[in-house]
Amino acid sequence: MPYLSDPIARAASPQEFAALELYAVNVFQSPKQSWPGYGIYLGRGLVITAAHVLGHVGQANPSVLIGGQELEAGVVKEGDFEGVDLTLLKVDERRLPARIALRLMPLCAAPPSPGQPVVVVIPGSYASSKILSPQALPRDVRGRFDTVIADVASTGNSGSGVFDAQTTCLLGIMSRKIQRVFVTKSNGVPTRRVDDIAKYFVPAAKIREFVPAR
């Protein structure tokens, strides 16, 4: 299992944020999808991603691009988009460079709180954001998708990692956009507008439950 974090009250440096990019991977179906799928390396050969990135993994023949090489991935556990949107993969850690293979990503012990600064990481880049209050969400999704961030357009999509900006522990895995639909009328003609208001991530507590004990 990934270790629990030991929170320290300090702000991480840009160098520490950049170091998180070592944990960020690309996840592919076979044949490869036209859009980038993301995941996070947890250590010991384990990679966590959003379940819908691969769909039904029995048909996906997944692979992971990590440390500059693409490796075949076995399926440890599969979730689903409407349940727990996580899938756990495993690559042969003996084929990883030591700078990656020896790392372990800590899962955050404390739940996210509104206003908390975070960093969303994908291969090669990261973007800052913050945790939003569930009160900012439409009533019909509260209670299901309460762990959300702002900055929808500028942060990573499905499977990317959400990290605490102070301790750099893993807060969660990005799952989906939360949107609000507006319908207005112009000259009697209905017009539909969809606004992105937040991004939901599967929190560390659910990841901890999902990843089998080792």
Q: Token match 């961030």: residue?
A: 149
Summarised one tens digit per residue, pLDDT across range 96-115 is: 998 898 899 999 999 999 99
| CA separation for the pair 77, 1 (Å, rounded) | 14
Is 6 within a domain?
no
Shared domain for 115 and 95, answered yes or no, is: no
Look at 58 and 166; give whichever has higher pLDDT.
166
pTM, full prediction: 0.88
The pLDDT assigned to 2 comes to 44
* CATH at residue 124: 2.40.10.10
Q: Which domain-ending residue is among 79, 103, 127?
A: 103
For residue 73, pLDDT over 50 is answered with yes
How far apart CA 111 and CA 160 sit, in angstroms, is 18
Domain-located, residue 201: yes
The DSSP annotation for the chain comes to -PPBP---SSPPPHHHHHHGGGGEEEEE-SSPPSS--EEEEEETTEEEE-HHHHSSHHHH--EEEETTEEEE-EEEEE--TTS---EEEE--GGGS-HHHHT--PPBPSSPP-TT-EEEEEETTEEEEEEEEPGGGS-TTTTTTS--EES-TTTS--TT-EEEETTT--EEEEEEEEEEEEEEEEETTEEEEEEEEEEEEEEEHHHHHHHSPP-
Q: Is residue 145 situated within a structural domain?
A: yes
Dump pLDDT digits (tens) for 19-41: 999 999 999 988 888 888 999 99
- Arithmetic mean of pLDDT, 69-93: 94
Considering the domain architecture, whether residues 63 and 87 belong to the same structural domain is answered as: yes
Region of 103 please: left (phi>0), alpha (psi -120 to 50) or beta: beta
Classify residue 3: in a domain, yes or no: no
| Mean pLDDT within 55-67 | 83
| pLDDT band for position 1 (cuts 50, 70, 90) | very low
- Tally the domains of the chain: 2
Segment of 47-56, 106-115, 134-143 carrying the highest mean pLDDT = 106-115
- Same domain (yes/no): 114, 96: no
Average pLDDT over residues 173-202: 86
Q: 38 is in which domain, residue-wise?
A: 23-103
Q: Is residue 9 part of a domain?
A: no
pLDDT reported for residue 58: 61
Same domain, 86 and 119: no
Indicate whether 162 pLDDT > 80: yes
